Amino acid sequence: MAFDEDLAERVRESLPADVVERVTERKMFGGLAFMLDGNMLVGIVGDELMARLGPDAADAALKRPHVRIMDFTSRPSKGMVFVGPGALEGEELTGWVAGALDFVANLPPKKKKGGASKGRSTARS
């Protein structure tokens, strides 16, 4: 499954400058995942945004239009949601990325498994 390249670029642009150096990109789930310190932050599957908001924020988000539980493997993933294109325009996308950052920034960094990182940096030169 291909992912929306335009949405990926808009996600990159929505990342605050103070975290860009800590974000890497990795192709997974047939889409593109953005990782903060090795932890899943947001991803793009097709034309939808996958956002890791944490259990409480995800439950609240499910009451909003264009949002559904993330069930990529046919099992709900606690604390994660899919956000459809109708809720990803302009500042809405920035809000979803910020919500994911609020949760993921508090997680401990993942330890790198031997060798170089598999993902590419999101940092702009």
pLDDT in tens, the chain (125 residues): 589 999 999 999 999 999 999 999 999 878 999 999 999 999 999 999 999 999 999 999 999 999 999 987 778 889 999 999 999 998 999 999 999 999 999 999 988 765 444 556 666 55
Domains and CATH numbers, the chain: 5-107 (3.90.1150)
Look at residues 40, 55, 12, 59 and name the one whose alpha carbon lies nearest to residue 105: 40
pTM score, whole prediction: 0.87
- Region of 29 on the Ramachandran plot (φ > 0 left; ψ -120 to 50 alpha; else beta): left
Question: In angstroms, rounded to a whole number, what is the distance separating the alpha carbons of residues 32 and 18?
Answer: 21
Instruction: Provide the pLDDT for residue 21.
Output: 95
